[in-house]
Structure 1
């Protein structure tokens, strides 16, 4: 073939393969077999290798990943990623319009965009090449996920043309199309794997995976919707959207320019019904003032821009029949009732199940067998029963009675006075509890075992490789059995075993949290390890000795005493100790920089521009201050940042707790 023919063939293959990727991942309607696709990809890779000058940076061969990210670097956003004010009320939109008019007059336009239900991402480009991709994080700082973002088909590595600035940022939303999500979950069910809960969580989890080659296998998409530059290039948001399209960015085709609030409301009403026909989830509409100078004039509040607002659609409701109630057992033994429903279309998806929370909810609803129930899809994700149509109740229908024994292992359930939840006490032999405890133990906030995921724990348990937490540290002796399992290669086994070995260095507080003792969360585990120093002192502590520890109440103390009364728990701890886990606090105490905050207690809440909450906590403790876990009359100061929880704010005001900024905290140290 001549050079021109080779070039034409490369371009044809790129176009064909990109189309096939779209058909497979987005539409879930492949038009060729995997074998045919792979052959075309091989041909393209071969041509690109022989003629590297013809290689397109956005070629399908370049979207395969392969790099491993052990830890994501935290990057500070040049322009903060602020949240938008939300409303479910059309009157609020009219009032928003009135505020805008009062500030800038009547001569302006709006841009209306679909509000995608995905993961916010900020992309930085330098000289037309993708430099960095950073997650939203806390709005001020986020995680660098560049390696993973490069595998997403619709994020260009190199831009088209030369009209773009030397350096700029563009914001967008990473998401997954519903047909692709359904296809993926169907595959997981066929392989007896746990299905994913919803497309948004799946997209978020995928973007934070350590192996970019695994990310490349997962069908993510990305819409871009806001351009940031040091020097303004365009007068309006609409002009910038048209420009970034020409540079090669994926911009949603349903965005509309509106002349007034009536056109905005028409757009809102249209998509309230039509949204269920989209291939992806949206939960509302974003409305922005179009002109950049007018945006600048309107300015910002501490939390959000005054020139934009998001309208969120209310959850839909529909009637259906309750077919039966089943019960799920969690890692703590909590037994949650689940309503199994006659399938019904709700918010564009077929709903078959809804949560019932606990026995009190069954009583509150007065549920009977075969009831006609009103179901709402809260937050467009989790369906729940909100009421029963008693007029349609059939004669003689029996009431739903909460069980007395565990549906998984047959143990008698217990319910403590004052609690709404029933528990199965058989935590060492009830399968869902065993699996759940191991999944909790390896989680990031506990032992952070790299190379080992929740689905793998489930698979290992089902295959008899794991029965207890301590069995994780015996997997080194079972490499032969591991290699016999499907979808578990030598590289995966090596990474997992390295992660397990590395976890032995996690501090005592992480180990204690990982054990999964009821009511012992991250903060409580820190308080206990700081007070008792080692596991033996904690195991032998009396109820009164436990409650004497900082912020340990009677309920927590009782749970700890009960946990260590069980011989099987003691036995597990001894096995873990023999494997080399840390059951003693390090003697390297915090080195005091001063005692200027001695005798003072603090709580840190909200988001800060210059410090993370952990950094502020370290500053306080290094100067003799004390961190509390909840607001009470004993609290001296609330260090308040942006986006502080309204309940904390309300309680602090009620108790007249002094609220200070991070700057005022630092001033106290001078």
Structure 2
């Protein structure tokens, strides 16, 4: 157990009356910095490992700030100072290094008989044994090496022999010790970096509100975070770690429980659910108990692990090329269909529409991990009776879009209500029918999503301007409307993170090339409510841009597929002064939308899609095919020529295709047999 530093004034309820820095000698500053580091390391241990802090957050922040000030003023920075947890300058890439000891995978099964067969083989080889029964964390495995008691490096598992050096990122995790008093000369430990469920839900809520795709599950979030090149961004993410193995050490250890004792004494965070059991029966019981507690844990586990406790017997059992013979993982069944709503957040779209989104305990639905589901609008959410904490049944609408189909058990939270203020900019929210809208056209969420939409392949097709770049341009104040794109300065782009001379020049070239576009793509790019790619094509066939901007509702309703709601939306868009100004600025910048000639190379061909294509969204490929005469429908019939089967396809359409004798095409065959005819 980590002992409280003695004779240290900054440990218990510190009185923070620091002398001015310029009145300190170098020796006084060094001594004070050493005491501050020792106190902060102890407070980190009490907060992150013991969950039992002894000073207030405010007092801790003052200690930390004082240490940063001293290190800066007297050049006292050390590689493993607590101040290094805040992150540092981004790396160009992660270096690959060798492990101190191999990090092998485990034999595993969901079948109890497989576990018992393994235990029989162990008993036949080395006699009766005790097992260390431990949770099997569903996180991201790392090796952390300490030399002479100092943090030396952290390495991802990689191929088990070599991994990527993620030292700077792992240092930002508060529960990772940076200094080990009285430690062995060498200590290499294995830990599981994970994202607590509460932190995962908060992170996904923030991403949804920012218009970003949420992470599928905490494991993906942790793995993606650990491998970021910018450690300052890692420091802002809610990572934690549990330690569970000693890979190598100069200390003398005889068993797993002795290893745990050593790690606990040195201040490493261990799981309180670890148990020493006498036989395989007790291990099976342990698994059932943990399976019952699974949903209540603050971290994801996908099973339990049995490890022969005795290191001597482990050595006798040895290992295969892939896994040790002395350990086995008894997996939990995948959670399917039913799950829990952890949070309900509200996403703001490019038109300002507010959409409630349920952030879920990740669940497997037809082989896909689902962590969010749209609730569409307040009316539907209230009709379903959803609330935070509710147990719900999830289905994939059309085998693609996750939806809440039923509330199985109500939660403790109240029924959902749409907020009165925009969750992104705080502006008033206006209800129109079933839907709610942010009234601020300058809302950052709307600008960001509008920019992404404007640059998408089916719109202006500006390659290189995706989610990350759109976020940068908006947050840096370089783009407030899409017209600002055509006034970007190269030096402004080069100053952005991740940009250089070449990437800035490439993006500006893409923006310049987009000026020559067809009218349908331009109309779609404007983001007029209810105008998708097909309606934009119909409108471009009937009107010039000038005619469309001044068309009346009656003139618009005379066009096929344009009803009263769509006509009203179009007229309203062009009656808004800011929208007209944006269009005029785009034209003044040289954007020249022309009415495209339609081809008939695919006339008479009917296609249906299921699953996603690697290079096109569904809207983009539909627009492309229909522009050349093909008919794209939503359901398979005897008139269908091809069913195009992409990634994560639905079963219903494939079954129907088999019944109707419709040919299937994979994405490569689709390119060869269909798209090649229009290139």
Q: TM-score with structure 2 length normalisation? A: 0.51
**2:175 matched residue in structure 1:** 154
Q: Contact between 1:338 and 1:356, CA under 8 Å: does it hold in 2? A: no
**1:172 matched residue in structure 2:** 191
Q: Contact between 1:109 and 1:259, CA under 8 Å: does it hold in 2? A: yes
Residues 472-487 of structure 1 aligned to structure 2 (within 5 Å): 476-477=489-490, 479=492
**1:202 matched residue in structure 2:** 221
- Are residues 1:217 and 2:257 paired? no
User: How big is the shift at 1:231?
Assistant: 6.3
Hey, what's the Cα distance between the residues in 1 that align with 2:337 and 2:142? 35
Per the alignment, in what secondary structure is the counterpart of residue 113 of structure 1?
Answer: strand
Hey, what's the Cα distance between the residues in 1 that align with 2:7 and 2:475? 52
Residues 46-61 of structure 1 aligned to structure 2 (within 5 Å): 46=69, 60-61=82-83
Taking a change above 3 Å as real, the CA distance of residues 95 and 456 of structure 1, as seen in their structure-2 partners, is farther
**2:22 matched residue in structure 1:** none
Hey, what's the Cα distance between the residues in 1 that align with 2:339 and 2:201? 23
Q: Which residue, 672, 676, 679 being the options, matches 1:557? A: 672
- Are residues 1:62 and 2:88 paired? no
Q: What are structure 2's unaligned runs of at least 5 residues?
A: 1-5, 15-34, 341-354, 358-369, 376-380, 410-449, 508-611, 617-665
Taking a change above 3 Å as real, the CA distance of residues 438 and 182 of structure 1, as seen in their structure-2 partners, is farther
What's the C-alpha RMSD, in Å, of the aligned pairs? 5.3
Hey, what's the Cα distance between the residues in 2 that align with 1:20 and 1:125? 21
Q: Contact between 2:393 and 2:407, CA under 8 Å: does it hold in 1? A: no
Q: Which residue, 81, 93, 101 being the options, matches 2:123? A: 101
Taking a change above 3 Å as real, the CA distance of residues 141 and 270 of structure 1, as seen in their structure-2 partners, is same
Q: Which residue, 123, 132, 149 being the options, matches 1:111? A: 132
**1:356 matched residue in structure 2:** 396
Per the alignment, in what secondary structure is the counterpart of residue 172 of structure 1?
Answer: strand
Hey, what's the Cα distance between the residues in 2 that align with 1:436 and 1:269? 52
Per the alignment, in what secondary structure is the counterpart of residue 319 of structure 2?
Answer: coil
Hey, what's the Cα distance between the residues in 1 that align with 2:62 and 2:502? 36
Taking a change above 3 Å as real, the CA distance of residues 310 and 47 of structure 1, as seen in their structure-2 partners, is same
**2:320 matched residue in structure 1:** 301
Per the alignment, in what secondary structure is the counterpart of residue 86 of structure 2?
Answer: coil
Taking a change above 3 Å as real, the CA distance of residues 559 and 501 of structure 1, as seen in their structure-2 partners, is farther
User: How big is the shift at 1:118?
Assistant: 0.8
User: How big is the shift at 1:173?
Assistant: 0.8
**2:66 matched residue in structure 1:** 43
Hey, what's the Cα distance between the residues in 2 that align with 1:173 and 1:309? 17
Hey, what's the Cα distance between the residues in 1 that align with 2:322 and 2:218? 27
Q: Contact between 1:172 and 1:222, CA under 8 Å: does it hold in 2? A: yes
Taking a change above 3 Å as real, the CA distance of residues 440 and 127 of structure 1, as seen in their structure-2 partners, is farther
Hey, what's the Cα distance between the residues in 1 that align with 2:503 and 2:47? 36
Hey, what's the Cα distance between the residues in 2 that align with 1:192 and 1:441? 19
**1:124 matched residue in structure 2:** 145
**2:343 matched residue in structure 1:** none
Residues 270-285 of structure 1 aligned to structure 2 (within 5 Å): 270-285=289-304
Hey, what's the Cα distance between the residues in 2 that align with 1:438 and 1:148? 38
Q: Which residue, 259, 278, 299 being the options, matches 1:240? A: 259
Taking a change above 3 Å as real, the CA distance of residues 457 and 302 of structure 1, as seen in their structure-2 partners, is farther
Q: Any idea what the Cα deviations from partners look like across 1:529-588, whole Å, max 9, x if unmatched? A: xxxxxxxxxxxxxxxxxxxxxx996433245526x64xxxxxxxxxxxxxxxxxxxxxxx
Taking a change above 3 Å as real, the CA distance of residues 82 and 184 of structure 1, as seen in their structure-2 partners, is same
**1:568 matched residue in structure 2:** none
Q: Any idea what the Cα deviations from partners look like across 1:457-499, whole Å, max 9, x if unmatched? A: 898999667799xx7x9854483xx8xxxxxxx96x1543457
User: How big is the shift at 1:431?
Assistant: 3.4
Taking a change above 3 Å as real, the CA distance of residues 143 and 360 of structure 1, as seen in their structure-2 partners, is closer
Hey, what's the Cα distance between the residues in 2 that align with 1:295 and 1:436? 59
Taking a change above 3 Å as real, the CA distance of residues 51 and 372 of structure 1, as seen in their structure-2 partners, is closer
Larger radius of gyration: 2
**1:74 matched residue in structure 2:** 96
Taking a change above 3 Å as real, the CA distance of residues 276 and 43 of structure 1, as seen in their structure-2 partners, is same
Taking a change above 3 Å as real, the CA distance of residues 494 and 228 of structure 1, as seen in their structure-2 partners, is closer
Q: Any idea what the Cα deviations from partners look like across 1:15-48, whole Å, max 9, x if unmatched? A: 796389659x999x9x978x77654532343466
Hey, what's the Cα distance between the residues in 1 that align with 2:491 and 2:667? 41
Taking a change above 3 Å as real, the CA distance of residues 113 and 159 of structure 1, as seen in their structure-2 partners, is same
Q: TM-score with structure 1 length normalisation? A: 0.52
Hey, what's the Cα distance between the residues in 1 that align with 2:316 and 2:46? 47
Taking a change above 3 Å as real, the CA distance of residues 275 and 496 of structure 1, as seen in their structure-2 partners, is same
Which stretch of the first structure deviates more once superposed, 72-81 or 143-152?
72-81
The number of residue pairs the alignment matches comes to: 427
